[in-house]
Structure 1
Amino acid sequence: MDHGLNESEPIKSGSFGHISSANSSFRRRSFNRYGSSHHEIDDDSVSEAGDIGERALSSRRYSESGRSRFSFDNPVETVGLPIQEHSFKESQLPTASPTSPDAILLGKDQNDECKKELPWYLTYISSRVHLAVLGILGVLTRYLLEKLFGPQVVGATGDHSYMYIDLPPNMVGSFFMGWFGAVFKADISNFSPELAVGLTTGYLGSLTTFSGWNQKMLELSVDGQWVFAILGFLLGLFLVAYSFIFGVETAKGLKWALNRTKLSSKCGLSPINGVTSQTILIIVMATMLGVLWGVSVTMLKKDFDGDSSTSHLWFGCIVGPVGVWIRFYLARFNGQGLGKAQILKWLPFGTLMANVAAACIMAAFATMKKSVNDKHFDTVAAGIQFGFCGCLSTVSTFIAEFEAMRASAYPWRAYVYTFTTMIISFALGTLIFSVPVWTEGWS
């Protein structure tokens, strides 16, 4: 199929069907994360291992100027963390299957359809709707995991323990980041780049929360349990890091098994290339978003004046997508560095800003909840904390960046980045939350 593309022509942002076109492009400059005795990761590119926001959808080209992306090799084929920029050759572009969705829906020659692109505003809407829908689903999943492992059911976590209440969601989200943000990212992107970004930035980013983690450690420290607070940070980092690694290894094993049994080619999904099929997908996702928001508003009205403990959940589902959108926007600063000289380019400033900002907002509302004695305000504040702050901050992306840095030529940067995030968030949280509590004598 002739797409009229060559290496000297940029692929426009509407051409979602062409991203991640061939696994062969992923093999370029890859390295084996486990078992390799040398490092081949560009030390500046690791800051883009997690999320690069709009550039994940609008940038289609891979720079050949020596920059590479963090990736994992499995024994059969190379699979990688989000590799958003590639150089394409016509021989690498995907060919359409005769039974592709476009051929079924339109019943006409797909060559003409594949050449068409969505208008920029539909492209914009599609990415935001995917982020919102999957972000809300991430909030709901986080709530269910907190309840399941919390004091009411399993009792593995608690509000006054270094096994903090958000630890299970953070571990589960980090595990699946190893699946959908590392090993199977290329396959999902080939089917739908919006879905790939929605799963990682939207769902997994909202399932995990750094601000909730930081706030629980602040609450331990304000009660004088400093040892538990330190243990909570260190143990939490250890568990989520190994959850991510375990996710990568299990996904690599599954991918290897699928390739050995040749099931991957039989179960593969055709890329969503056509304008019509992309438009239908947007309509379906927009309908889902309307339903989720409608149910949340209805349940909030029902529970707002009652004694239900779920009212903050429904408010969180309403405001959660705003946090996802802001984090998606901030992610464009990852890999950009500071100033024209791009100082500290290896530091993911977008993720850092999102996590620190969310931690500060979380601490501010925790302080206001203690000073304002009003049930309705508590519901709104808790909803903003759980939904907006929970979705603005992320552990799954944070830990993917940590692992990328740890596998680079400068592994010490992983710990500088990690402890910079934790120390700044905790220090500002102490000023915003702990100091007023100590000063006013609040319990």
Structure 2
Amino acid sequence: MEEEKSDDEIIARSGESGLYGKSEELDPWSTGEIKHLKTKWLQQELEERVPSDKELEESTLIPSTSGRRSYSRRLSSSTRSPPRSLTSSRRHSMDRHENDLRVEEHTISNVSDANLSSRRHSMDIHENDMQMEERTLSNISDADLSHEVKDKQDKQQELIEYIDILAHLALFGIIGVLIRYGLEVLFDDVLSVTHELTIVYRDLPANIVGSFFMGWVGIVFKEHIRSLSEPLAIGLSTGLMGSITTYAGWNQKMAELLAKGNVAASISGLLLGMSAAATSLIAGIDSAKGLQIIFAKLFPKMNKSGQENPKQFQVKVQHGIARLTATLVIATCTCGAALFLLIGGHSSLDLRILWLAALVGPPGVWLRWHLARFNGRGIFRKFKWLPVGTLLANLLGASLNAILAFLEFVMTNDNAAMVLAGLQLGFVGCLSTVSTFVAEVYTMHVGRNKSRSYTYTFLTLILGLILSIFLYSIPSWKLQYVKW
């Protein structure tokens, strides 16, 4: 193993001009021994003192002054100036080494700057993504919240409108019961026009009056009233006119005539009742159209402005109307119940029947209005032309009236008689209707297929009479409450 050469020997060899100067392989400048020697001296200088980072970088690129001086002293102590070829080679090697270090430092600096800029760019992108995500989530949450609030408000609005309609139906239903009862008393007890055992039954005047004004509020002026208030239009047509008229009472009187053997009178009563109601409806329609012509001539400006803006009188405070109407209905029902309880033992039987009928009338109107929703729906889609809701209401009313009339033979005490009569006058009377029935027949008759109007008429009359025969006449014959 070769012995390590001393520093002085290397320096001496670098300055000789003899054998080593001519051979490049043995020249310390070419073999790199001088470079290792410089590195060794730099390490010794670093061990003697701890330099700063800046000084360390400068010492890496260019040897320190003390190192150069030490190197110069050592080099000058043993040799003189080297030959020109060796000096140029040494300078070339040192320059190349310094250039390599500078290129490396520049590369490291560029890489670090690139990494730093890339990191900053990625952080900016991440922050932008976070902000966009937060904005998106905020927008989505706001949209969901606004949608939920809107749905909640729509449901509340629908509930308020529904309550408003029920309140109008109840209020006008009670008024209809009172009007029907007053007409019965007027034409039977006072004027003696109607009679129980004739085809001119007690409910005939009420059916005529209700059908007449149905032509006003249900056909001619319906859109004008609806422009003011939809619940008001429903309350006047379905509530008031539907409660003034009754199909169940008319059908029951014809069934009683049939049960006693008066078949011709029963059939005549059905035809008379239908003809009177239909004629009254047509008269109401013509009179309403005549009033329109008169008003158009008397108030042309009002008619013109009304045509331009038919909803100019649209009521904007629906909530206030709903609350007011509901309050009136509740107050009316409460007063009726209170009066019924207070004067129940001291007033006449007819008055107690009237108050009970006023209390149970609104549920009958509500049931009839809900049954109208079956028109053209569900299993009745194949019969869209047929008003199934009104047909079901009339047939149900006829059946209930027949059952209650039969129970009057069994339950003979005053309280039972009051309850049965009150249900017939109030609930069943409001459940069935003639005004809506004849209005639907009229609409079919003026349409393309007039035969449907006759089909609907005979279907209602025949089915109602058959139900009354099975529920009232046959049991009465069997138990001998009624003789043929």
Q: Give the alignment's TM-score, normalised by structure 1.
A: 0.70
Q: 2:450 aligns with which of 411, 414, 430?
A: 411
The structure showing larger relative contact order (alpha-carbon pairs under 8 Å, at least 6 residues apart) is 1
Q: Is the contact between residue 376 and residue 382 of structure 2 (CA under 8 Å) also seen in structure 1?
A: no
Q: In structure 1, the residue corresponding to 2:190 is in which secondary structure?
A: coil
Q: CA deviation digits over 1:338-374, x for unaligned, max 9?
A: 35xx212211100000000000001101111111222
CA deviations over 1:123-161 (Å, ceiling 9, x no partner)? 1110100110011101111111111111x1111111111
* Structure 1 counterpart of 2:180, one-letter code: R
Residue 220 of structure 1 corresponds to 257
SS in 1 for 2:350: coil
- Displacement of 1:294 in angstroms is 2.1
> Compared with structure 1, are the counterparts of its residues 130 and 264 closer, same or farther at alpha carbon in structure 2 (3 Å cutoff)?
farther
Residue number among 144, 155, 172 corresponding to 2:182 in the alignment:
144
Indicate conservation of the 8 Å contact 1:296/1:314, yes or no: yes
Long gaps (5+) in structure 1 = 1-115
In the other structure, the counterpart of 2:357 is: 316
Shift of residue 329, structure 1, vs aligned partner? 0.5
> Aligned residue for 1:169?
206
Percent of paired sites with the same residue: 40
**Matching residue's letter, 2:178:** L
Aligned residue among 271, 278, 286 for 2:313 = 271
Distance 1:218 1:280 in 2: 46
Cα deviation for residue 270 of structure 1 reads 4.5
Distance 1:389 1:270 in 2: 39
Report the counterpart of residue 46 of structure 1 in structure 2.
Answer: none
Q: Alpha-carbon deviation of 1:263?
A: 6.1
Hey, what's the Cα distance between the residues in 1 that align with 2:240 and 2:357? 14
Match of 2:322 among 282, 294, 303: 282
**Are the equivalent residues in 2 in contact too, given 1:210–1:355 (CA < 8 A)?**
yes
Code of the residue aligned with 1:291 in structure 2: it is A
Q: For 1:243, which of 263, 271, 280 is the aligned residue?
A: 280
Asked if 1 retains the 8 angstrom alpha-carbon contact of 2:161 and 2:322, the reply is: no
Map Cα deviations across residues 36-56 of structure 1 (whole Å, 9 max, x no partner): xxxxxxxxxxxxxxxxxxxxx
Equivalent residues of 1:337, 1:345 under 8 A apart: no
Give unpaired runs (5+ residues) of structure 2.
Answer: 1-152
CA contact (8 A) 2:349 2:418 kept: no
Higher share in helix: 2
Q: Which position in structure 2 is the counterpart of 1:260? A: 297
Distance 1:352 1:360 in 2: 12
CA distance in 2, matches of 1:374, 1:139: 24
Per the alignment, residue 9 of structure 2 pairs with: none
> What do the CA deviations read for 1:243-271 (whole angstroms, capped 9, x no partner)?
00000000000001111222682897843
How has the CA–CA distance of structure 1 residues 264 and 437 changed in structure 2, closer, same or farther, with 3 Å as cutoff? farther
Q: 1:211 aligns to what?
A: 248
Correspondence list, 1:50-89, <5 A: none
Residue 129 (structure 1) aligns with: 167
Give the corresponding residue for 1:198: 235
- Considering only aligned residues, what root-mean-square deviation do their CA atoms show, in Å? 1.9
Which residue number corresponds to residue 195 of structure 2?
158
Note if 1:351 corresponds to 2:390: yes
Query: Do the aligned partners of 1:316 and 1:386 also contact (CA within 8 Å) in 2?
Result: yes
Q: TM-score, normalised by structure 2?
A: 0.64
**Is 1:120 paired with 2:168?**
no
Q: Mark the structure with the bigger radius of gyration.
A: 2
Q: CA deviation at 1:295?
A: 2.5
Measure, in 2, the Cα distance between the counterparts of 1:179 and 1:323: 23
- Indicate conservation of the 8 Å contact 1:337/1:344, yes or no: no
CA distance in 1 between counterparts of 2:269 and 2:474 reads 20
Matched, 1:233 2:270: yes
* Residues 291-310 of structure 1 mapped to structure 2, 5 A cutoff: 291-306=331-346, 307-310=348-351
Q: Give the secondary-structure state (helix, strand or coil) at the position aligned to 2:196.
A: coil
8 Å CA contact 1:337–1:349 kept in 2: the answer is no
Amino acid at match of 2:221: F
Aligned residues of 1:137 and 1:203 also touching (Cα < 8 A): yes
User: Offset at 1:279?
Assistant: 1.7
